[in-house]
Amino acid sequence: MQNKTIAQLAADLRLRLYSSVELTQHYLERIARLDPRLNSFITVTAEQALAEAARADQLLRSGEAGPLTGIPIAHKDIFCTQGVKTSCGSRMLDPFIAPYDATVVERLAAAGAVMLGKTNMDEFAMGSSNETSWYGPVKNPWDEGRVPGGSSGGSAAAVAARLCAAATGTDTGGSIRQPAAFCGITGLKPTYGLCSRWGMVAFASSLDQAGVLARSAADAACLLDEMAGFDPRDSTSAEVSVPDYVDALDNDLHGLRIGLPREYFGGGLDPAIGDRVMDAVREYERLGACIQEISLPNSPLAVPVYYVIAPAECSSNLARFDGVRYGYRCADPSDLEDLYKRSRAEGFGAEVKRRIMIGTYVLSAGYYDAYYLKAQRVRQLIAADFRRAFEQVDVIMGPTTPTTAFALGAKLDDPVAMYLNDIYTIPANLAGLPALSIPIEPLAGLPVGLQIIGDHFQEARLLNVAHRYQHVTHWHQAAPPGFD
Ligand code: GLN
């Protein structure tokens, strides 16, 4: 069952080959047996899942089921889930039980999806390896000595290991695409504003976007169909009409114009990854696409710009965690100041503190113009590069990451090396563009991701482009040994 697509599972449920309760039990059994090796879940909501599955079975019997009714999924622990711990991977929120559901959670539940639990993540979504979680690192199911990527590493590992049919994630600088690449699955970061951020714990509000981690583009389309769309509770939610993503999957690719940015194939990229990306591009040529080289000249500035803007926004967003209103409070504070200081010192981990300090610095009087304002200007140049590129091409392709998954601990003491993981993913966040990663030919047994970036609100096109490749190749079907 765990290797079937969401469409197959949905068809089986309708034919009563098994019930949603049986399917849910099957995944819960896999989580209990296999997840102690991976640590991909922070919370497993077995009882609630079985109750939701029983309700889904009723809908299936009465013929009122939708495409996701009875399908077991997981949510990144950054999404508020009513009555269920929402930790954001942090000691700070370890005691926090959310009093409401995030819009994304609410919509998927309304569509009949069954929530198996909440997945592990880098603390407050800051990281590229899932090693900054208060709940310990997640292991990559392809090699348990390696990281799954981050920050949505729990979701990526859980989907790759077939512990759930699909999962939600968030992507501020690459946190859906990079772990998808490292774990050999499909990860979509939609256009900024397509999926509501309401009820999603904020990291860097102008960059954060909810999205999907799934085994295929077709599965991702099933979830996005339910998640996308205007939400009046999120002031940056886009008032656009949302197409049917599943309907567009099979569109023909003849005449598709693919741009390959010169800057994405330079130094720093493992040449063997570059070769595999070019093999995938040739597959697209066989499917009728035409290829041209393009330039995104300001993309080398994306990482430095991101590491001014994201910490600035995080220092402001995380000011609310003061030991008074939410989550962790230190023991026996001597006065108010001691309460603030020790609650934050004990509640946050090292990476979060580093970002808060950088953010506070770049926003302070005297430095605001030199760093924050300058970074916002360069951000506009990066966005303009993409605008020019999309006058010539329909989609942009390149590697998702410069390397395959690295060993646990390898980059923990070198934040800059860790930050450089996101060199190819961050530009899309700065420009608010949709982008996805799909698995292509692996390298030495480890997954490799192809990144496809589209113009604003071109998710249907991206999923279509990814799906056609998955139609003629089988890389996305490979399961990590021992998890098949
Ligand atoms: N790895 C990047 C960071 O540490 C991106 C994280 C994300 O997308 N949430 O900020």
In tens, the pLDDT along 237-263 reads 999 999 999 999 999 999 999 999 999
Spatial separation of the C-alpha atoms in residues 260 and 283, rounded to whole Å: 14
Pocket-testing residue among 126, 353, 355, ligand 1, by greatest number of atoms within 8 A of Cβ: 126
The rounded Å distance from CA 391 to ligand 1 centre is 29
pLDDT digits (tens, 9 = 90+) for 164-177: 999 999 999 999 99
pLDDT at 309: 98
pLDDT tens, position by position, 362-404: 999 889 999 999 999 999 999 999 999 999 999 999 999 999 9
Does 368 reside within a domain? no
Residue 453's Cβ-side half-sphere holds a number of Cα atoms within 13 Å equal to 29
Output the pTM of the full model.
0.98
Q: Which of 76, 118, 139, 411 is catalytic?
A: 76
Chain-centroid distance of CA 85 in Å reads 20
* Residue 200 CB-half CA count within 13 A: 29
Using the predicted structure, report yes or no on whether residue 416 has a pLDDT greater than 90. Answer: no
- Taking the centre of ligand 1 as the mean of its atom positions, its distance from the CA of residue 201, in whole angstroms, is 14
Count other Cβ atoms within 10 Å, centred on residue 442.
15
The rounded Cα 144 to chain-centroid distance in angstroms is 20
Whether the link from the prior residue into 155 is cis, omega within 30° of 0, is no
* pLDDT of the residue at 354: 97
Compute the distance between CA of residue 73 and CA of residue 172 in angstroms, rounded to an integer.
Answer: 22
Q: Is 353 left (phi over 0), alpha (psi -120 to 50) or beta?
A: alpha
The residue to which tokens 């879940």 are assigned: 41
Please say whether the beta carbons of 152 and 88 come within 8 A.
Answer: no
> Angle 475-434-255 (CA atoms, 0-180°, nearest 5)?
70
Backbone torsions φ then ψ of 54, nearest 5 degrees: -65, -40
How many domains are contained in the chain?
1
Is 87 annotated as catalytic?
Answer: no
Which of 54, 108, 61 shows the shortest CA–CA distance to 81? 108
Query: Can you give the pLDDT at residue 226?
Result: 98
| Catalytic annotation present for 76 | yes
Helices (H), 5-45: 6-14, 20-38
**Structural domain span for residue 209:** 6-253
In a domain, 399, yes or no: no
Average pLDDT taken over every residue of the chain: 97
The residues with which 214 forms a beta bridge, in sequence order, are 166, 186
Q: Which atom of ligand 1 is nearest to the CA of 152?
A: 9
Residue 175 CA: which ligand 1 atom is closest? 8
| Phi and psi at residue 410, to the nearest 5° | -60, -35
pLDDT of residue 291: 98
Q: Which of 308, 301, 230, 207 is nearest to 263 (CA)?
A: 301
Q: Are strands 257-261 and 395-399 parallel, antiparallel or unpaired?
A: parallel
**What is the whole-number distance in angstroms between the Cα of residue 360 and the centre of ligand 1?**
18
pLDDT at 326: 85
> What does the pLDDT average to over 190-208?
98
* 151 labelled catalytic: yes
Burial (CB count <10 Å: 0-12, 13-18, 19+), residue 36: exposed
Gap between the Cα atoms of 127 and 64, Å rounded: 41
Residue 372 within any structural domain of the chain = no
Residue 472 lies in a domain: no
Using the 8-state DSSP alphabet, how is residue 368 labeled? I
305 — pLDDT class (breaks 50, 70, 90): very high
Name the pLDDT band for 417 (thresholds 50, 70, 90).
confident
Q: Do the Cβ atoms of 261 and 377 come closer than 8 Å?
A: no
Q: Tell me the backbone φ, ψ of residue 441, rounded to 5 degrees.
A: -60, 130
Which ligand 1 atom is nearest residue 126's CA?
4
Residue 359 lies in a domain: no
State in Å: Cα 19 to ligand 1 middle. 38
Mean pLDDT on 459-483: 98
Show the tokens assigned to 61: 């019997």
CATH number of the domain that residue 71 is part of:
3.90.1300.10
Question: 365-371: long-range contacts (C-beta < 8 A, 24 or more apart)?
Answer: 371/308
Q: Which residues line ligand 1 (CB under 6 A)?
A: 125-128, 151, 171-175, 203, 310, 422
41-44/114-119 β-pairing = antiparallel
Helix/strand/coil for 11: helix
Q: Which atom of ligand 1 is nearest to the CA of 176?
A: 8
Span from the CA of 127 to the centroid of ligand 1 (angstroms): 5
Contacts 24+ apart (CB under 8 A), 250-253: 250/464, 250/467, 250/468, 250/471, 251/464, 251/468, 252/288, 253/284, 253/287, 253/288, 253/289, 253/464, 253/465, 253/468
Residues 6+ apart with CB under 8 A from 479: 3, 160, 162
Q: Is the pLDDT of residue 148 over 90?
A: yes
Domain presence at residue 371 = no
- The angle formed by the CA atoms of residues 458, 203 and 446, to the nearest 5 degrees, is 65
207 domain residue, yes or no? yes
Backbone dihedral region of 125: left (phi > 0), alpha (psi from -120 to 50 degrees) or beta? left
Question: Residues 44-49: what's their mean pLDDT?
Answer: 98
The answer to whether residue 374 is domain-embedded is: no
Statement: residue 267 has pLDDT above 90: no
**Distance set, CA 402 to CA 234, 268, 478 (Å):** 34, 6, 22
Closest CA relative to residue 229, chosen from 197, 196, 192: 196
In this prediction, residue 126 carries a pLDDT of 98
- Give the pLDDT of residue 87: 98
